[in-house]
Amino acid sequence: MDNRTEVREFLASRRARITPEQAGLTVFGGNRRVPGLRREEAAMLAGVSVDYYTRLERGNLAGVSESVLEALVRGLQLDEAERDHLFDLARAANASSRARQPKAPKQRIRPSVQFLLDAITGAPAFVRNGRMDLLAANRLGYALYAPMFSDPVRPANHSRFIFLDPRARDFYPDWDLAANNNVAILRTESGRNPYDKGLADLVGELSMRSEEFRVRWAAHNVRRHYSGNKTFQHPVIGGIELMFEAMQLAEDPELTLTVYPVEPGSPSEESLRLLASWAETERLEELERATATGSSR
């Protein structure tokens, strides 16, 4: 993913969404050829010259100071996720050639992390990387995402499931929200790790195979996704609403641990008990099948 292109399209898309009225500017005449702010208006709001702003919007963030970046944040009314993304793009633009060498994301987790997941028995939990590969989970995590894990391709991937598997439309009652969030997370990751070939390959595959993904990717939306609520329509237990908390692992900052707790006393708490019961039944049946296979040899 080319950094200059990312910078150019991100800044242009943020400028285009702000009207002069939203920016507190007085507009004379109604004939405007561009949506949102003009470049000279964005430059004025950021306190830089038009030539300098034009250079930035053409994708050149090399040597840009933090104060200028903060001025862009204020002028373009960027939220926290967008601010982080802009600073990530600037770091990538100023990185040394050595720092630009792609690093393969982890596909395995440390044993202690799996022990941690297994110790979480009252809520679904899993670990993913920045490409949305689901690398490990506890029993309830595997049970919750059973439709995703029914695909034999490993590692299971949230993005491929959402955009390429028809069952995702049923699994996520608000599919548009899930799709928007997923692409925004991938776009955020592309700013942090622009030289990740695996991520570029995933984006290329999804862009080729899904118009829904392609349109969302072109919007350049980013977001933080650390807490909130999610609703699922599970094929076995039906509807369930869960909270979620996500955090980076200190020893593996490229990995994210996500836990789905449930509100005590809520209908979803009973649904989670049903999910746990079904997961245990599935485990016992799998154990019986394995035992029967071993006995027949």
pLDDT tens column, 117-150: 999 999 999 999 999 999 999 999 999 999 999 9
Sequence-ordered alpha helix ranges (H) in 94-223: 111-119, 139-144, 146-149, 158-164, 168-171, 175-192, 197-209, 211-218
The predicted-structure confidence for 4-54, as pLDDT tens digits, reads as follows 999 999 999 999 999 888 988 877 666 777 779 999 999 999 999 999 999
Note the pLDDT of residue 188: 95
* For the chain, domain boundaries: 3-93, 111-291
Task: Quote the CA–CA distance of 280 and 142 in Å, as a whole number.
Answer: 11
- For residue 289, give both structure tokens: 């099948």
Task: Quote the CA–CA distance of 69 and 91 in Å, as a whole number.
Answer: 11
Sequence letter at residue 171? F
Neighbouring C-beta atoms of residue 21, cutoff 10 Å:
9
Cβ partners under 8 Å of residue 3, min gap 6: 59, 61, 89, 92, 93, 194
Q: Are 188 and 85 in contact (CB under 8 A)?
A: yes
Task: Quote the CA–CA distance of 24 and 171 in Å, as a whole number.
Answer: 43
Note the pLDDT of residue 26: 79
* Secondary element (H or E) of residue 137: strand 133-137
* Secondary element (H or E) of residue 54: helix 50-57
Class of domain 3-93: mainly alpha
22: DSSP letter: T
The predicted-structure confidence for 232-252, as pLDDT tens digits, reads as follows 999 999 999 999 999 999 999
Chain-centroid distance, C-alpha 276: 27
Q: How confident is the model at residue 290 (pLDDT cuts 50, 70, 90)?
A: low
Of 102, 126, 229, give the one whose Cα is nearest residue 178: 229
Note the pLDDT of residue 202: 96
Q: Are 88 and 191 in contact (CB under 8 A)?
A: yes
| Torsion of Cα atoms, 53 then 54 then 56 then 58, to 10° | 170
The predicted-structure confidence for 174-222, as pLDDT tens digits, reads as follows 999 999 999 999 999 999 888 899 999 999 999 999 999 999 999 999 9
- For residue 196, give both structure tokens: 């990740």
Task: Quote the CA–CA distance of 231 and 3 in Å, as a whole number.
Answer: 35
2 Ramachandran zone, left/alpha/beta (phi>0; psi -120 to 50): beta
Q: Does domain 111-291 have CATH number 3.30.450.180?
A: yes
Report CA Rg, the chain: 23
Q: Are 142 and 275 in contact (CB under 8 A)?
A: no
Q: Are 76 and 46 in contact (CB under 8 A)?
A: yes
* Secondary element (H or E) of residue 55: helix 50-57
Q: What's the whole-model pTM score?
A: 0.89
Task: Quote the CA–CA distance of 188 and 223 in Å, as a whole number.
Answer: 7
Task: Quote the CA–CA distance of 124 and 136 in Å, as a whole number.
Answer: 11
